[in-house]
Amino acid sequence: MWTPDHFAASEPGWDARLITENPFGIMISSDACVPLATHVPMLIHPADRDRARAGLEGCRIIGHQARENHQWRTIADGDRLLLIFNGPHGYVSPTQYPDQPAAPTWNYTAVHLTGPVTLVHDHEALLRVVNLTIDTTERDRDPGWDREPSRDLFDRIVGGIVAFELTVESAASTYKLSQDQPEHRRTLVTEQALADPDQGRRRLGDWMRRAGG
């Protein structure tokens, strides 16, 4: 990933935060030089979350995909994959600036991770990955979902997935959040994003405010 210095993470915990807030990413592998990609839920292994705040190298990412998906059959334990997580993003129009000349651009946040992968087929291990994924995706819901009535269903359908665990060897990220603009423009675009009725734009505004701090 190409990352100009002024778009680099200002704090080591940003990458972990982006993944935690956006746990649906892209798993990319190669089959005879042909790229394969699947959109899948992925998360930092709970045992690694504390140290992930200091950097993701050495941490484990877990996820799963449908067993009917061809991709996992092309992957062997130890193969190196690329995982991509996209955070908030949005178009910035020159009309948002109080002065000219100006050019349109796109603000965005993203994390790329690479490392060796291990496939998971054991029934109990698959259940753990599914339950950890539910813990992550349900954490902010109120009321939360009671999964107990569905335990038997999980036990029956978990055979339809394949889980994986990737150990991060390298992490790269970009936080392009108007840092290349004059302060008065950056402040105005941030305020506009924070006041936008669209939740995604407000989340982008939160990251812009963080980068501007």
Percentage of the residues of the chain whose pLDDT score is greater than 70: 100
Whether the pLDDT of residue 180 is over 80: the answer is yes
Q: What's the mean per-residue pLDDT of the chain?
A: 96
Domains and CATH numbers, the chain: 5-180 (2.30.110.10)
In the chain, what is the straight-line distance between the N-terminal and C-terminal CA atoms, in Å?
24
Cα-trace Rg, the chain: 19
CA distance 9 to 208: 12
Residues in a beta bridge with 28: 37, 82
pLDDT tens digit sequence for 50-106: 999 999 999 999 999 999 999 999 999 999 999 999 999 999 999 999 999 999 999
CA distance 57 to 156: 35
pTM of the model: 0.95
Longest dimension (CA), the chain: 62
Segment 119-132 shows an average pLDDT of: 95
Q: According to the model, what pLDDT value does residue 171 have?
A: 98
Q: Hey, what amino acid is at 51?
A: R
Whether the pLDDT of residue 213 is over 70: the answer is no
* Confidence band, pLDDT 50/70/90 cuts, at residue 212: confident
Segment 207-213 shows an average pLDDT of: 89
* Confidence band, pLDDT 50/70/90 cuts, at residue 173: very high
* Confidence band, pLDDT 50/70/90 cuts, at residue 11: very high
Whether the pLDDT of residue 154 is over 90: the answer is no
* Confidence band, pLDDT 50/70/90 cuts, at residue 139: confident
DSSP-derived 3-state class of residue 111: strand
Q: Are 72 and 162 in contact (CB under 8 A)?
A: yes
